[in-house]
Amino acid sequence: MEEIIELEKAVDVAVDMHRLAIQMTKPGCYEYQISNAMQHFAQDQGMSFSYPPIVTKRGEILHNHMQFHQVHEGDLLLNDSGVETSLGYASDLTRTFPVGKRFTSLQEEIYQVVLHAFKSAEQLLSPGIRFKDIHLKACEALVEGLIQVGFMKGNSQDAVANHAHTLFFQCGLGHLLGLDVHDMEDLGEQYVGYSTSEPKDTKTFGLKSLRLGKELEAGNVLTVEPGIYLIPELTQLWEQQNLHRDFVNYDFLKKHLDFGGIRIEDNYLIAENGYRRLGKYLAREVQEIYSLKDNAID
């Protein structure tokens, strides 16, 4: 229980830090200004970043730590950042929001797709279920939404079974969290996130980047972080290789390759009968984000 209290301290400060970022971001500012303000806020609370933050309008570049862009009306900003307490316990949150007051219509559509996948995964968290299965259910939810928007077609289960969704979601749904933002992974995620009876898939694109796949147990602390990332180079490569044309609507997709990326992430404790989201609530509904934007910090 003492560890959970410490983890929630880290989440609470990160939530306030993310609110600050949403409210201060406006057209004309620079990514590094947002990152610097968050670092200043965390240090004022006696904490520090738990990992180098990702604060970028190029959200399609995974683990992008460059922060030199000026942001403009119509851009999305992806903020993946957390803090650690003096005892080393870490938080890891992500929100994606408009630089201006509102999303564009397509941005809002895709955001709602990611949010639906996020909620679909969240409600499955419980002891006894394999995290890999939650990951795959989230992938199906993403595909269902991408079909409605027009980026994909066909049957969502078939698309995921054939790994066609990995054009848009290349990474895993989440990872363990604790005294490190990727807890204990220095020992090897194949040993920490997987069991010997169900080893990690190290070859399949998408699954090989899933850091956690084993059956969940009460007391586990983890992240849930689905996303959609439109990567022009990957799209071009797949189209040249004629991959998954039964599932990918390349003609429509190529009109929107400047979209970027969207991710939503929260931190959870697996309880005896389900889950508990750690720490204070951070806006994730579209209207909640708009409310924060309407109360912007000058």
Reported as a pLDDT band with limits 50, 70 and 90, residue 1 is confident
In angstroms, the CA 169 to CA 56 distance is: 18
Tens of pLDDT, residue by residue over 149-178, are: 999 999 999 999 999 999 999 999 999 999
Q: Taking residues 240-262, report their average pLDDT.
A: 98
In angstroms, the CA 215 to CA 236 distance is: 36
Ramachandran angles phi, psi of 239, nearest 5°: -65, -40
Average pLDDT, the chain: 97
The percentage of the chain sitting over the pLDDT mark of 90, rounded to a whole number, equals 96
Give the pLDDT score at 222: 98
Tens of pLDDT, residue by residue over 61-70, are: 999 999 999 9
Please count the helices (runs of H) and the strands (runs of E) in the chain: 9, 10
Helix or strand or coil: residue 274?
strand
**Cα dihedral value 191, 192, 197, 199, nearest 10:** -70
Give the pLDDT score at 185: 85
Tokens of 45: 């609370």
Residues linked to residue 248 through DSSP beta bridges, in sequence order: 152
Give the pLDDT score at 186: 82
The percentage of the chain sitting over the pLDDT mark of 70, rounded to a whole number, equals 100
Ramachandran angles phi, psi of 133, nearest 5°: -70, -40
Q: Which of 21-30, 187-196, 270-279 has the lowest mean pLDDT?
A: 187-196
Question: Comparing C-alpha atoms, which of 256, 95, 96 is closest to residue 168?
Answer: 256
Reported as a pLDDT band with limits 50, 70 and 90, residue 216 is very high
Q: Which residues contact 33 (CB under 8 A, 6 or more apart)?
A: 24
Tens of pLDDT, residue by residue over 68-90, are: 999 999 999 999 999 999 999 99
Reported as a pLDDT band with limits 50, 70 and 90, residue 184 is confident
